[in-house]
Chain A
Amino acid sequence: MKRTLTVCPYCGTGCMLYLVSQGGRLVGVEPSSTHPVSRGSLCVKGWNAHAFVHHPDRLTSPLVREKGELRPATWDEAITVVVAGLKGVQDRHGSDALMFASSAKATNEENYLLMKLARRVFATNNIDHCARLCHSSTVTGLTDCFGSGAMTNSIACLDDTDLIFVIGSNTTEQHPLIGSRIMAAARRGARLIVADNRRIRLARHADLHLRHHNGSDVALLNSMMQVIISQGLTNLSFRERRTENYPLLAESVAEWTPERGAAVTGLTPGEIVDAARLFAGASSAMIIYAMGITQHSHGVDNVRCCANLALLTGNVGRNGAGVNPLRGQNNVQGGCDMGALPEYYSGYQSVGDPAIRQKFARYWGGSDLPATPGLPLTRAMDAALQGRIRGMFIMGENPLLSDPDQTHARLALEKLDFLVVQEIFLTETARLAHVVLPSACYAEKEGTFTSTERRVQLVRKVVEPPGEALADWQIISALARSAGCGGFSYDGPSEIMAEIAVLTPQYGGITYERLAPHGLQWPCSTPDDPGTPILHREQFTCGLGRFSPVTYRPPAELPDEEYPFVLTTGRTYCHWHTGTMTRRTHLLDREERAPFVEINPLDATRLGLREREPARVTSRRGSIIVAARISTIVPPGVLFIPFHFVEGAANLLTNNVLDPESSIPEFKICAVSVRREA
């Protein structure tokens, strides 16, 4: 029996756990007792983090498509075919006809390396990853207001805060060890406001539960700010010392009286006033949000409103406060930090800045790097459909299930001249690929993940990858070498991190030696920098905190006569995204076996739908049959469907309308009809 300390591969909370192995096989999990977040606990996914790793479905050798079928191939052949395929597209249609999709499941080192491969070897900034689908609104919105797009505070701040405002985050299900810490805070007396029209578990513990209409967050938050300003509850000294642009904000929210807010949100004016007074009256208040804020066609505006509220009440830059976006994936923070983004190199250094470009070009060797920002992942799918993107390299993502409007995604992927998918299982997306490259999972390689609280932590190899599978960083290095590009030979991930540290100011002080046992929180600029649990203490990354006024825009598609229900999508507690890992984990699979739709009893009665009966849910884009789950979690008129299940894919229904600034899709709201399926 061997126990190896590593990081949980599921959500962004960043729990560390010990994988128990025996004879080269994983046989269990033990939580770390001393880790500042896990503290001897885990959620059900963490307790089962070992259980998918040796599944017989794991990919064990490269696959190359021949006469329409995928057949096993050697690494030499597969690498040659991939390089020839990508180069071929590049030669025929130019570098920007290629798109690279990196992975929030892969390590920092691997995200950095794929970013380097796209920019250095294939001369394109068309590199992105699934942060586009979850927190791109955060990166844009918080950077606008604070100069940095990351969680401002630490999870431990929940122990000291006076009030927690959870908006658009089902925290106990999606970040369970943060959710349970919120519950603990509420039990010790911290006030809790939950804004979510589903009656999520945290709502049962809230002082105030605001069930506002889906997509009306801007109206709610602007109205709260109107109350705070009109009742003289702003933090005046903070506003004067630390912020700018206040007059414009005050002007923009002046018309958002509680009555007007109530008309848009469906709340009562009193609820809005209560929320505003509670929030502003707290000596310290934390805003916690997730996809309920970001996944809208006005996601960036929602984020700006959260930032404005925190600035108005002086809740930034100190313990127990802050704007705290909870990052979904284990390494989605790191994917962003590493520059797997179309407009940034690692450390959010702009590709448009000639000095930055020169810095990277000099270090990487070779000629000039591309200056024009690349395509976001969501826009790349449109471009593929239009024939502007011809080749795509997808590492560890399953867009066929996770992108909005599955039909659109399928047509886009099928239209590509060349598709490479690097994966641990033959996912729905991988089945469409011309070449499939088998990769090692988190337990089979070294590297680092960066958690939602900017904590960079070591991932350790416990067992060997199956068959011929290789770590993503090894595959990327081999591709670069095969393409004739130097600068991709590394002894291991620690050497890649050394390169990251040289080029990335926030990671400047990070080395593998310093990361044991429980990591460091960036920014960590120098070898003796202890890291930064709380951002913006003395000043904001951009100097002064900038109020950024927001005009309310309704969601793109609202219910009408033909499609009278609001559909909102998300995850369940036991499954992870497209179910690649969790549906192959016995206890998690048993817990949620099949797709379902949550429907309020009033609606179900009206439609003659009974528990577990098949329900047909239809939108303008598609139609699925799922089991009815009758529940007061959703209010009348609202349906919830998780997006894990290929056999009842919520994303056949969702609306591929994008936020104009962040290009995030509006996963959280579209119009559908529902009826009993005979």
Chain B
Amino acid sequence: MKALSDGQLLHFFKCLEKDWEVRLPVTLPDGTRTLGSLKDGPIALLGGSLPAKPTGAFFPQEEEIFRLSERELRLPLPPERPLFVAGFTSRDLASLLFIDRFFADDPKDDLYFRRRQSALVAAVTGWCGPGGSFIKMTSKGCDLELLRDERGWLLLSHSEAGRQATQELPEGDDPLRLERFVAASASQSNDDELLLSQAAELLRADLVPDSFWNEIGDRCILCTGCNLVCPTCTCFGIRDWRSASGVERIRMWDSCQLEGFMREAGGHNPLGSEALRSRRRIHHKLAADLMRWGEISCFLCGRCDATCPTGIGIVSVMKEMVARHGGPANQRSR
């Protein structure tokens, strides 16, 4: 366990820049927080999860797949330096592990692992949430954990790479300090997890009527934001640009909320209404992924709820669903 002040932590990040491409929460000129580099703005580790998904460091909105000219096929080069990405919450790390497994599934996604395989991932936990609220400790899925309290930072290494990166930092000598984090983590409420399991159960038991999805679909303006900020959304589209010099193929984040996402060549669309697409978005996370991967793929990060302009992010929808269709009558009928 290492103990650092704000200044020492900043110094640590600066030292890391020699060997790593460092990405961490920073504040942009208008106060928006994002995952950036030290030169993009002041560090903003406090404030909880970032509006943009941190998994975007490995699976960005747009990336080149290849360029093809008459004479050669050019594949994108791996990054010059490995990535050091800080700013994950425990929920973000669960999301990262989920998509790691997805992209590792055969055939393995080379583009993703080009960035991911040698990366160092750091969680930020403790009293660093919005308004100083507590963010649960985590060890799963990260190399390092930065724990915040009123005295500054504790650094825990959860992997060999994490230990190596931090070996020259000063040791912390107050075991009681860590105890407080453990106790606070243990006393965190799990209301949202309960909601998640109730909502998933309703969907799996097919107890949510179409009329509910019609209402949710009526409120969807197809902005696609829910998908684009979701750390477990992995769908991408492919686009080719042909020019005199050849073909450039890229992939970009796609969205199951678009009408074109599932439309067949003949024009038929199995997800031809907003209601069906809204249902799919939630059903996929809460029921389909549970069957496919053995776990629900919403980790309650709250990003879709924050970006949705009409209030139909997944947590809002689950609350409405459980309030309206998860009552005692439904319980009995199961």
A residues sitting closer than 8 Å to B (CB atoms) are 1-3, 5, 16, 18, 20, 27-35, 40-44, 46-47, 50-51, 55-56, 172-173, 176-177, 179-181, 183-184, 187, 201, 204-205, 516-518, 573, 586-587, 590-591, 593, 611-612
Q: Mark interface residues in B192-230 (1 if CB within 8 Å of A CB, else 0).
A: 000000000000000000000000001101111100100
CB distance from B33 to the nearest CB of A (A): 7
Contact A51 B252, beta carbon cutoff 8 Å = yes
Contact A180 B309, beta carbon cutoff 8 Å = yes
Contact A30-B259, Cβ < 8 Å, known A41-B308, A176-B223: no
B327 at the interface (CB under 8 A from A): no
Chain B residues within an 8 Å CB radius of A180: 221, 223, 309-310
Taken together as a complex, chains A and B put the C-alpha atoms of A16 and B32 apart, in Å, by: 11
A interface: dominant SS? mixed
Chain B residues within an 8 Å CB radius of A30: 32, 34, 51-52
Query: Which listed residue, A33, A43, A587, touches B221 by the CB 8 Å rule?
Result: A43
Contact B219 A591, beta carbon cutoff 8 Å = no
B residues sitting closer than 8 Å to A (CB atoms) are 23, 28-34, 36-37, 40, 51-52, 60-63, 218-219, 221-225, 228, 237, 239, 241-244, 252, 254-255, 258-260, 267, 306-311
CB distance from A8 to the nearest CB of B (A): 12
Taken together as a complex, chains A and B put the C-alpha atoms of A590 and B219 apart, in Å, by: 22
Contact B243 A56, beta carbon cutoff 8 Å = yes
CB distance from A219 to the nearest CB of B (A): 30
Contact A587-B260, Cβ < 8 Å, known A2-B40, A42-B225, A47-B228: yes
Chain A residues within an 8 Å CB radius of B258: 44, 587, 590-591
- List 4 additional contacts besides A30-B51, A590-B258; criterion CB under 8 Å: A30-B52, A201-B218, A201-B221, A593-B260
29 A/B residue pairs, CB under 8 Å, sorted by A: A2-B40, A3-B40, A5-B29, A5-B30, A20-B61, A27-B63, A29-B61, A30-B32, A31-B307, A34-B30, A41-B223, A42-B223, A44-B222, A44-B258, A47-B228, A173-B221, A180-B309, A180-B310, A184-B311, A187-B311, A201-B221, A516-B29, A517-B30, A517-B31, A587-B252, A587-B260, A590-B260, A593-B260, A611-B267
Taken together as a complex, chains A and B put the C-alpha atoms of A2 and B23 apart, in Å, by: 12
Nearest residue (CB) in B for A518 is: B30
CB distance from A344 to the nearest CB of B (A): 33
Please name the 4 residue pairs, one residue from A and one from B, whose CB atoms are nearest each other, closest first: A28-B61, A56-B243, A180-B309, A517-B30
Taken together as a complex, chains A and B put the C-alpha atoms of A17 and B33 apart, in Å, by: 12
Nearest residue (CB) in B for A203 is: B218
Taken together as a complex, chains A and B put the C-alpha atoms of A32 and B52 apart, in Å, by: 11
Nearest residue (CB) in B for A178 is: B309
Query: Which listed residue, A16, A586, A611, touches B30 by the CB 8 Å rule?
Result: A16
CB distance from A518 to the nearest CB of B (A): 6
Chain A residues within an 8 Å CB radius of B255: 587
Taken together as a complex, chains A and B put the C-alpha atoms of A339 and B75 apart, in Å, by: 50
CB distance from B333 to the nearest CB of A (A): 30
Chain B residues within an 8 Å CB radius of A179: 221
Chain A residues within an 8 Å CB radius of B309: 41, 43, 176-177, 180-181, 184
Chain A residues within an 8 Å CB radius of B40: 2-3
Contact A183-B219, Cβ < 8 Å, known A1-B37, A27-B62: yes
Taken together as a complex, chains A and B put the C-alpha atoms of A184 and B316 apart, in Å, by: 14
Taken together as a complex, chains A and B put the C-alpha atoms of A629 and B29 apart, in Å, by: 46
Chain B residues within an 8 Å CB radius of A27: 60-63
Nearest residue (CB) in B for A586 is: B239
Chain A residues within an 8 Å CB radius of B218: 201, 204-205
Contact B224 A47, beta carbon cutoff 8 Å = yes
Nearest residue (CB) in A for B39 is: A2
Contact B254 A587, beta carbon cutoff 8 Å = yes
CB distance from B148 to the nearest CB of A (A): 21
Taken together as a complex, chains A and B put the C-alpha atoms of A2 and B41 apart, in Å, by: 11
CB distance from B25 to the nearest CB of A (A): 12
Contact B310 A184, beta carbon cutoff 8 Å = yes
Taken together as a complex, chains A and B put the C-alpha atoms of A184 and B219 apart, in Å, by: 10
Contact A183 B32, beta carbon cutoff 8 Å = no
Chain A residues within an 8 Å CB radius of B51: 30-31, 33, 40
Contact B29 A33, beta carbon cutoff 8 Å = no
Chain A residues within an 8 Å CB radius of B60: 27-28
Contact A44-B223, Cβ < 8 Å, known A3-B36, A517-B30, A591-B258: yes
